[in-house]
Amino acid sequence: MYDPKFISKAKAMVAEYTNEHMEVANGPTIEPKDVYVVWLAKTLQNAKALLATSLPDELYFEVTYNGDNEEYYFDAYKKIVNTRFGK
């Protein structure tokens, strides 16, 4: 079972980051409910989630929880290229 506390914390981190770095002045802000989980994994005391928003900024986020040190790590990424290989 996934830890709802981790998911809630990860969504809050993405919403906070997005609102602080939004390019549109005085634009609408997002809330944690506007963030969705794309992928989620938990192993022992550690967890990792890939998250995104519906904003057209092409950003996605990675939140990792290190249970040994009780630390969260946050990364923001922007898609550079999406190339198809094969048929």
9 pLDDT higher than 90 = yes
Q: C-alpha 39: how far from its chain's center?
A: 10
pLDDT in tens, 30-62: 999 999 999 999 999 999 999 999 888 889 999
Domain boundaries, the chain: 4-22+30-78
Q: Is the pLDDT of residue 1 over 60?
A: no
The sign one gets for the Cα dihedral 45, 42, 54, 32 is: negative
pTM of the model: 0.86
Q: Reply yes or no on whether the pLDDT at 80 is more than 90.
A: no
Q: In the prediction, which pLDDT does 67 show?
A: 94
Q: Are 48 and 40 in contact (CB under 8 A)?
A: yes
Confidence of residue 25 (pLDDT cuts 50, 70, 90): low
Q: Summarize the confidence of residues 12-27 as an average pLDDT.
A: 83
Measured CA distances, 10 to 4, 58, 87 (Å): 10, 18, 36
Look over the chain and give the mean of its residue pLDDT values, rounded to a whole number.
91
